Amino acid sequence: MGGADLHVEERGRGEPLLLLHAMTGTGDDYKHLFDLDLVAESFRIIVPDARGHGRSTDSDDEFTFGRCARDVLAILDALGLAQVRALGLSLGAKTLLHVATAAPDRIAAMVLVSAAHRFPETTRALFRAAATTDRSLDEWTRMRALHIHGDEQIRRLWKLPARLAEETIDLTLLRPQLSTIKARTLIVSGDRDPFYPVELAVELYRSIPHASLWVVPDGLHLPVFLAGHEAFVKTAMAFLSR
């Protein structure tokens, strides 16, 4: 699809539920968030690896959130799904914002964890710094276990934040675009997120119709994996099941 071979896993039956992972992660990250066997009793779970991540490839070297959104729509078309419910983590959340503005009827409900519709300069500076950080042997070992296409794939993933930091058009969704979203939306933000300040979550909440906002106290980036894990799983599943 668009210069990439995309790996997608499915399980379960029922209403389709799309799960999109964070940058440098894979679809397998959701095993650390949900009991997927239990979720599969109620939903048909669809879990892709984003282009260039995990078992997916990316040959055209044109990674953008809009490109990822078009990948998602192509996956839905290939599976014959007119509409899904969805949950996205960081990269996955930004991808869902692009899907929900480009094709509002395709997303019935979505949970956005650590989302952003624009990148402040502070965020861009952190992304540039992240791309130049020296990596430990343990980090290489962990990444090699996740991303199967060799060290060059991993190097490209670690350089990706610097490329995104220089992006101008694709990173910004304006209020008129966000106001076209039809999906019931739950926005989840840590109030100590260094990458996406909580003000961005408030802007999203005020711009998206049918939106709810959950600010996690003392929460950093992706605040749903640690202390708030059980509360998040209960709340997210109830929201998506409505």
pLDDT at 61 over 80: no
pLDDT digits (tens, 9 = 90+) for 63-94: 899 999 999 999 999 999 999 999 999 999 99
Indicate the residue type of 93.
A
Q: Is residue 158 part of a domain?
A: no
Mean pLDDT of 169-196: 95
Q: Is residue 30 part of a domain?
A: yes
Q: Is residue 163 part of a domain?
A: no
- The pair of structure tokens assigned to 41 is 């009793």
Domain that holds residue 206: 8-119+171-241
pLDDT at 226 over 90: no
Neighbour tally for 74: CB within 10 Å: 14
Mean pLDDT of 37-44: 96
pLDDT at 7 over 70: yes
Mean pLDDT of 40-56: 97
On average, the pLDDT of the chain sits at 95
Residue 227: pLDDT band (50, 70, 90) is: confident
What does the angle CA 28 – CA 13 – CA 189 come to, to the nearest 5 degrees? 45
DSSP assignment, residue 31?
Answer: G
Our measurement of the distance from residue 24's CA atom to the centroid of its chain's CA atoms, rounded to an integer in Å, reads 11
CATH number at residue 209: 3.40.50.1820
What is the count of structural domains for the chain? 1
pLDDT at 50 over 90: yes
Residue scoring higher pLDDT (62 or 113) = 113
